[in-house]
Amino acid sequence: MKAKVLMFAASLAVAMASLAATGARGELRVEALDPPLPLTVVGWFAFDPNSSEDLDTSGIAFSNALYDGYSELSKARRAAPDPKDGELFNHKARTAARRSVVLPDWPSDRDLSEEDASVFHSALHFMSSAFERGGREVAPQDAATAQVSYDCWIEATEYGRDDDIERCRQAFWDAMNKVSSAADYKLTDAQFQPRMAPQAAAVPVALEGYLVYFEWDSTAVTPAGQAALQESIRAAEANAQTTISLIGHADRSGPEGYNQGLSERRALVIIEAMTEAGIPRSRITWNAVGETQPLVPTADGVREQGNRVVEVDLM
């Protein structure tokens, strides 16, 4: 056994020394071990890219789904010019298989702009809130998809891979909508009773759209926007069978990526206000389009109050 260990160390040292001189990447197969151990070597960094494969997953459904998701993400990142993220996701898969806690990346873990970091702080807060309400238990597959997609999204953003950014971002929000709705429904369906006005006092409310306006470069609702928000809440309460559709917007006075995140945060502000007013989260669907679908057409770079808005429609 000692001989095998020495042979392994010697083989690894030679391979890593030769690659470290150039910073190159290589594949090393250590025949001294039985079975032979394949290693990925980048400079002085070496790891076994297959160590998470085919592990026994006998934990809770959320952990098992995390294992599957991170294993696939690790495989997808192994061919990257810098495969360290492949090993990061490989490690997260192994941790999930051991039924240990696996945390998503914190924005400060990545080299992000201030604008991007703000977007991910908001996304992380939204995910954590849904998980704390029982989302991992009532929707384990969707919750795992959301966490893995978040890590995929933040990693792709750090390296500027636009296709992966859009795909992973959309997968995250699609999954989070399901998780948040499921958590609210499962935790409230037993005790929730819609507040109904007395029959004699019931007054039909016209189902129409509302525009909630925001301050420039802000998630603060304007006074006019507050009035529209309260009116939309009253309409939603009076029409308990309706679905509430939200679309967040931003004007064109900032970078497109930043405006996308700003429109998402604005939509989340409306969701929070409505749920605090007693409207079940399961009734709310939402999307955010940044500066790409302005309600008031303008040139790029123009500040426009009419585009700093969240559309609220009762369907």
User: pLDDT value at position 214?
Assistant: 93
- Is the distance from CB of 238 to CB of 278 less than 8 angstroms? no
**3-class DSSP state for residue 68?**
helix
- Which ranges in the chain belong to alpha helices (H)? 2-20, 61-77, 84-97, 114-132, 135-138, 140-159, 162-188, 223-238, 256-276
Query: Nearest-5° angle of CA 89, CA 123, CA 152?
Result: 25
Structure tokens at 55: 């592990």
User: pLDDT value at position 49?
Assistant: 53
pLDDT digits (tens, 9 = 90+) for 27-44: 444 444 444 444 444 443
- Is the distance from CB of 262 to CB of 244 less than 8 angstroms? no
Under-70 pLDDT residues of the chain: 1-59, 79-82, 184-208
User: pLDDT value at position 54?
Assistant: 53
User: pLDDT value at position 153?
Assistant: 94
User: pLDDT value at position 109?
Assistant: 86
Structure tokens at 11: 């083989």
User: pLDDT value at position 272?
Assistant: 92
User: pLDDT value at position 269?
Assistant: 92
Portion of the chain with pLDDT greater than 90, in percent: 32
User: pLDDT value at position 137?
Assistant: 84
Structure tokens at 267: 């939509």
User: pLDDT value at position 20?
Assistant: 45
- Is the distance from CB of 135 to CB of 179 less than 8 angstroms? yes
User: pLDDT value at position 150?
Assistant: 95
User: pLDDT value at position 58?
Assistant: 54
Q: Beta strand 284-288 with 244-248: parallel, antiparallel or unpaired?
A: parallel
User: pLDDT value at position 275?
Assistant: 92
Q: How far is the C-alpha of 162 from the C-alpha of 167, rounded, in Å?
A: 9
Model confidence, pTM:
0.54
For the chain, the straight-line distance linking the first and the last C-alpha, in angstroms and rounded, comes to 70
